[in-house]
Amino acid sequence: LRNLTTDQHALLAFKHQIIIDPYNILADNWTTNYPACNWAGVSCAAKHTRVRALNLFNMNLTGTIPPQLGNLSFLVSLNLSHNNFHDHLPRELGQLSRLKLIDLSSNFLNGEIPSSFGRLDKVLHLILANNNFTGNIPYEMSKLMKLRTLRLAKNQLSGSIPAAIYNISALRMISLPYNNLSGSLPKKICHHLLNLEALYLYENEFSGQIPTSIGECKNLRQLILDTNRFNGRIPTSIGNLTALTDLY
């Protein structure tokens, strides 16, 4: 049975992977002298007294993310953005079945995005921008049917976007610029993306024609497709996007 002690062990394993903590936040505060729920950056759920959020963004921490973090089974929010974390992401993060926000942007993480992320079926915001991830966007991520924000900008991702991602009707933002992604856009790109407000695909290797169905994304405000290999005509259906404020 997992409990707050399990969570504390997971957090201490995380602490032990931190090699630079310039403000001594974890060194001074994350000790057994204090309850884990009072540690800096840690929030607990009142009902179950389990760790609910780990928010340590912009603290200049350097280290790796250990697999034990996957034991924080009540975690809803994980924000480690704007630090100096490096190395691969452990597949055990896919065990965090209650997660709604995962923001690991602006670090030095590398390797492939774990396919286990496809099990995070409650996640609303998946933000892995500004890292060094390689390989393909995992097909399994197309199972995240509650996903509103997908931000994978400024990585080294390659291959095509799994077509099923365009079936996630909850998506508000798809942000994939500054990668090496290729392939064409599906003819019925907006058939399910009726809530999409921002589509950022610039600075990639996409080719083929811009589909005329782009005009069906009625809520689209920003359509940014420049610096690719598209050809053919610009579809007149873009004129149907009456909410549009930015077109590149």
- Is the predicted pLDDT of residue 90 greater than 80, yes or no? yes
- Is the predicted pLDDT of residue 74 greater than 90, yes or no? yes
Nearest of 162, 157, 149, 163 to residue 177 by alpha carbon: 157
- Is the predicted pLDDT of residue 46 greater than 90, yes or no? no
SS3 135: strand
Amino acid at 219: N
Tokens 């929030």 — which residue? 43
**Could you report the per-residue pLDDT of 206-240, keeping only the tens digit for each?**
999 999 999 999 999 999 999 999 999 999 999 99
- Say what percent of the chain tops pLDDT 90: 95
- Is the predicted pLDDT of residue 57 greater than 80, yes or no? yes
Side-chain-side CA neighbours of 246 within 13 Å: the count stands at 12
Distance from chain centroid for Cα 24: 28
Mean pLDDT to the nearest integer, 91-103: 97
SS3 200: strand
Residue 232 CA to residue 107 CA, distance in Å, equals 38
pLDDT value at position 139?
Answer: 96
**Could you report the per-residue pLDDT of 163-203, keeping only the tens digit for each?**
999 999 999 999 999 999 999 999 999 999 999 999 999 99
Residue 70 CA to residue 91 CA, distance in Å, equals 8
Ordered structural domains, the chain, with CATH: 3-247 (3.80.10.10)
- Is the predicted pLDDT of residue 71 greater than 80, yes or no? yes
Lowest-pLDDT choice from 20-29, 125-134, 168-177, 178-187? 20-29
SS3 126: strand
Residue 18 CA to residue 12 CA, distance in Å, equals 10
Distance from chain centroid for Cα 141: 10
pLDDT value at position 156?
Answer: 98
pLDDT value at position 54?
Answer: 98
Whether 157 contacts 129, CB under 8 Å: no
Whether 120 contacts 96, CB under 8 Å: yes
pLDDT band at 48 (very low <50, low <70, confident <90, very high): confident
pLDDT value at position 2?
Answer: 78
DSSP 8-75: HHHHHHHHHTEEE-TT-HHHHHSSTTS-GGGSTTEEEETTTTEEEEEE-TTS--EE---GGGGG-TT-
Q: Give the DSSP letter of residue 233.
A: P
Token pair, residue 9, equals 């062990």
